[in-house]
Amino acid sequence: MLDEIQKRLLREVADLHEIPEGAYNIRSNSASAGRRSTANIEITSKTDVSGLVIRIRPGTKNESVHIPVVLTESGLEETVYNDFYIGADADVVIVAGCGIDNCGPKDSRHDGVHRFFLERGARVRYVEKHYGSGTGAGKRILNPVTEVYQKENSFCEMEMVQIKGVDDTHRSTIAKLDAGAKLLVRERLMTHGEQKATSTYNVELNGAGSGADVVSRSVARDESYQKFDAKLIGNAPCSGHTECDSIIMDHGTILAVPGLEANHVDAALVHEAAIGKIAGEQIVKLMTLGLTEQEAEEQIINGFLQ
């Protein structure tokens, strides 16, 4: 049974208002709070370390897997290892994410290591949301590690979201793509107070016709710090694009580090970065419609992070 705080965290990170359809595993304070497999999706526990093995049968279509995590005990620290095996020509949605509510004096931390193995022609949409709340002095720390291994003509779309309440995070993503494989990443991030957030991407385009598009949109407020470090490695005829589009406010700091390595004459790689403040004319325009300056800023930020 979940209490009201845990239910609220599930709504924030996985948009769950009730038990989801399809396969799921809900983790609460380092223990399973419920699990279900289906005929095409099998979820089992690892025996050597804490974590799951999720196997999706070849050809599975229009099914989903939910594996959210919630922490409400101050001082709880855990590392979880989840492996996803997606069969050939499957097409599924995987919803993860972690919510921490820390009302105590000790730091709470969840480190999730997710590995995805996509067989030929498989398609995955992966949604990972992070959220923090609570009135305690202890930090809310999340350090996700994502590894993606894509075989021929597979497609992986990743939505990485962190909008509120996480004090420290280091997101590390590694991807290796075979011929014709495509990777699409959309990261949305907002930091405030003295929060720190680092995102690193290392994408190897190893097969002919492979492609990656990694885009981060972020807002740094107050005294917070962000670093976006994205590296594309073209080892074959391929195309790759990374982009950092950020708004800086107050005394925030944003560092964008481009990394392009072409090891083939037909590797086409591009990096774009734009960091700036909210344009004054945008605020003035919204204020003429009756909004206060603060309300105008919030409207602009919400639209930017959609």
At a CB cut-off of 8 Å and minimum separation 6, what does 117 contact? Answer: 83, 84, 85, 86, 149
The model's pTM is: 0.93
Interior angle at CA 172, CA 23 and CA 11, nearest 5: 40
- Name the domain count of the chain: 2
Asked if residue 72 belongs to a domain, the reply is: yes
The domain boundary, picked from 106, 137, 165, lies at: 165
302 assigned to some structural domain? no
Residues 80 and 128 in one domain: yes
Predicted local confidence at residue 153, as pLDDT: 98
Looking at residue 306, its pLDDT comes to: 79
- 204 and 80 belong to one structural domain: no
Q: Are residues 28 and 144 in the same domain?
A: yes
Residue 183 CA to residue 149 CA, distance in Å, equals: 10
In a domain, 291, yes or no: no
- For residue 260, being part of any structural domain is answered with yes
Do 187 and 144 lie in one domain? The reply is no
In a domain, 305, yes or no: no
41 and 110 both lie in a single domain: yes
148 & 202 share domain: no
Same domain, yes or no, for 53 and 137? yes
pLDDT at position 19: 76
Residues 6+ apart with CB under 8 A from 280: none
Residues 6+ apart with CB under 8 A from 88: 58, 59, 119, 120, 121, 122
Classify residue 269: in a domain, yes or no.
Answer: yes
- Which of residues 165, 198, 232 is at a domain's end? 165
If asked whether residues 6 and 123 sit together in one domain, one would say yes
Q: Are residues 195 and 221 in the same domain?
A: yes
Domain membership flag for residue 306:
no
In a domain, 109, yes or no: yes
3 & 62 share domain: yes
Q: Are 81 and 205 in the same domain?
A: no
How far is the C-alpha of 137 from the C-alpha of 227, rounded, in Å? 24
Q: Which domain holds residue 93?
A: 1-165
Q: Print pLDDT tens along the chain (306 aa).
A: 677 888 888 888 888 777 778 899 999 999 988 999 999 999 999 999 999 999 999 999 999 999 999 999 999 999 999 999 999 999 999 999 999 999 999 999 999 999 999 999 999 999 999 999 999 999 999 999 999 999 999 999 999 999 789 999 999 999 999 999 999 999 999 999 999 999 999 999 999 999 999 999 999 999 999 999 999 999 999 999 999 999 999 999 999 998 999 999 999 999 999 999 888 888 888 788 888 888 888 888 888 887
Domain-ending residue, one of 165, 194, 211 = 165
- 138 and 25 in a common domain: yes
